[in-house]
A and B are shown apart, each in its own frame.
Chain A
Amino acid sequence: MKRIVALVLAAMMVLSLTSCQSAAPKDEKIELSFLVAEYSTKTGEYIQNVINKFQEKNPNVHVTLEIVGWDNLSTRVNTLVGAKQAPDMYAGGTATQFIPDNLVYKPEEILSKNLCDDFAKQFWDNNFTTEYNGVYQIPFLASVRALYYNKKIFNEVGIAEAPKTWKEVEEVCQKIKDFYKGDVYAWGVDGTTTEGQTVVAYYGWNNGGGYVDANDNYMLNDPKNVEAYEWVKSLIDKGYTNANPTIETRDDMQKLVVADKMAMLVTACFFPSLYPDADLGVAAIPYNDANVSASSTLGVQDCVCFFNGNAKAAEDSDAKKKAIADFMDFFYAPENYVGLMIQEGMIPATNSGVKELAVQKPEQAAYVDVLAGAKFYSRAKSNWQECSAGCCDVDQKVFTGAQSAKDALDELQALLTK
């Protein structure tokens, strides 16, 4: 008798568990986590509103948003990955460092085809990594760099237009230096760890150099890069630039431009949105017409990646993967996505977003054309962070005169290719 009772009880237990499982997909509350870099103090508020709207339409999905400042972003993500608590979606950084350990999905594995097809081709292609033969992240947003100048200073000195070539830069800088007797910096250089890696982009590309060659191999010690560094050093030595290029950041110098203490600065396209009252002119980044025929600019894209089960406590269910895809479709819908781009002064990475931006804010959409001809960092290379930090070190060694440009770049090239 006891055996029969036990058998019945066991059967009931199995049945009840089975029924729970089959009911799960229908009633299951799906939890998603979304970690985003803090672009401004309003970033969190905006994205939370988008999440709220999504949750209204999808009551079985709950999205937890975490906004992290740039200084702590990589630490926070690495900690979460190490603890197997990686967020489902991570926006702002790069997936490159997580590819070797197979911690991230390829976007096609998890997102809708419509969304993947909507991203601008140049962004998508830039995310292709030859080392791991694929794309592992999608673009979140983009910015483009340009030469900004203080119109008041230009008017006072009598400069009609922004310099186009390196030779013109030197002439304009000398005029400004003579006029203000050194009280106003003519040209801003950022060799800090904030933006030091841009020196190769701003000056190397505009002299025919760059980070990588056509085969995606590092070419930091290319003679064109050496020449570019030597040219920047000559600007510093002639007293055209800010006093401390190795500790004065882009943010510090933007304040100097706005305060009429600096005439020209190559910086990001969101600069005017930070200081809407400033009277700023914008032009292409000057180039060395002895070596190249046109200006190159730097496009910077921040990315979104999706951690897979290897970085979490458990594998994702199909329902969860679908919820991620749905949320991303909703987030990148122009009516949700473009408002964030306008708020942060950024450029949308989707074709539909660009169209919407042209309607809502044409002056910001003008940067889209500039971006079309832009080059990007080689962030898809797995040791890009080492390259980026190494470029900052080269800046600091060269600009302080501690080492020649050739020696410093040779050392960096050796470090990256050993």
Chain B
Amino acid sequence: MSEKKAAVAKPKKKSAFFRNGWDAYIWMAPSLLLILLFIFIPVILTFYLAFSEVSTAGLVRKFGTLDNFKFIFGEVVFKRVMLNTLIWDIVIVSLSMVLSIIVALVLNEKFKGRKFVRTVLLLPWATSGLITSSVWKYIFDYNYGALNTLLMKIGLISQPINWLGEANSAFMCMIFVGIVVTIPFMTFTLLSGLTAISPDYYEAAQIDGASFWDKLFKITLPLLKPAIDVNIVLNVIYVFNSFVIIHTITGGAPADQTATVMTYLYKLAFSRNKMGPASAVSVIGFVILLIFALLYMRYQMKEETE
């Protein structure tokens, strides 16, 4: 009888808590707590400061004012800063993407010393941004710079070039550094995408007589698209927020002509002691990135539906 009872006993029901999937939140709690502490609260505080009158000591005097935004939009240099940020982001991300695809394709091939090259490629990414930027500052230096010395030794120039002496050339030099620093991360994420593509596609294409370009544009790039998309989103945000290269090499000089949103808000906050307007710039940057992320998500959802 007892055996019979045991045989017909129903399996033990999960508690309502676990049935509703709430246990997932317990597992996520540590991460959520960290995000709350180090991202969510600072973002809320930044918004709070952006809409407040903040004293020179950084204390809030009055909440509920648009004066900080009025101040920022009244700054002559703000347009230039926004334009610089746009150029900085688009040029670095797009050029880095093209170059990273090429490098990833090369590194995906089998050749002697591949591991060594892959390791070397990681170095600029693994090295501290401050060190990388300082080294590049000295490379471009007019008086002692390695670049001028090299170019003069091989006879390409007779006089040193003042790479950092003028706003446009200095900005181009920093974009170059930005690309050098961005390529390693992009390359490695693309490489992982490339290794996930089955060799069967290429073998089938080979049999059908496809050229290198056919394989690249009809197999590799379409199948690499998810990796490219992720890279674009991550790097647009990362490059937009990058600070150390410009801060170290020109500090935004001359007169903010090479500044981006990040270096400009740093100067506002810590050189000009204007914490409120600096927070307003931060909010503007946040909104721009948010719009970009929303547009991207919409595009992704549309793609998935199609």
Binding site for B on A (CB under 8 A): 74-75, 78, 81-82, 96-98, 100-101, 103, 191-193, 243-244, 246-247, 256, 261, 311, 382-383, 385-386, 388-389, 393-394, 396-397, 399-400, 402, 411
Nearest CB in chain A to that of B273: its residue: A385
In the assembled complex, 7 residue pairs joining A and B whose CB atoms fall closer than 8 Å, in A order, are: A74-B273, A78-B57, A82-B59, A101-B55, A244-B142, A383-B56, A399-B254
Q: CB distance B273 to A402 under 8 Å? A: no
Known: A396-B254, A399-B254. A244 touches B165 (CB 8 A): yes
Which residues from A are CB-within-8-Å of B273?
74, 97, 385-386
Which residues from B are CB-within-8-Å of A193?
251, 253, 267, 271
B48-80: CB near A (< 8 Å → 1, else 0) gives 000000011111000000000000000010000
Nearest CB in chain B to that of A98: its residue: B57
Minimum CB–CB distance from A394 to chain B (whole Å) comes to 8
Which residues from B are CB-within-8-Å of A246?
165, 253-255
Q: CB distance A393 to B255 under 8 Å? A: yes
Which residues from A are CB-within-8-Å of B76?
411
Q: CB distance B271 to A382 under 8 Å? A: no
Known: A97-B56, A382-B56, A385-B271. A192 touches B142 (CB 8 A): no
Which residues from B are CB-within-8-Å of A81?
57-59
Known: A97-B57, A101-B57, A103-B57. A385 touches B251 (CB 8 A): no
Which residues from A are CB-within-8-Å of B270?
74-75
Which residues from A are CB-within-8-Å of B251?
192-193, 247
Minimum CB–CB distance from B301 to chain A (whole Å) comes to 41
B94 at the interface (CB under 8 A from A): no
Which residues from B are CB-within-8-Å of A243?
142-143, 162, 165
Q: CB distance A396 to B253 under 8 Å? A: yes
Q: CB distance B255 to A397 under 8 Å? A: yes
B257 at the interface (CB under 8 A from A): yes
Minimum CB–CB distance from B201 to chain A (whole Å) comes to 51
CA of A138 to CA of B257, assembled, Å: 38
Which residues from A are CB-within-8-Å of B90?
none
Q: CB distance A389 to B272 under 8 Å? A: yes
Nearest CB in chain B to that of A252: its residue: B143
Minimum CB–CB distance from A38 to chain B (whole Å) comes to 17
Q: CB distance B272 to A385 under 8 Å? A: yes
Q: CB distance A400 to B143 under 8 Å? A: no
Q: CB distance B253 to A82 under 8 Å? A: no
Minimum CB–CB distance from A320 to chain B (whole Å) comes to 21
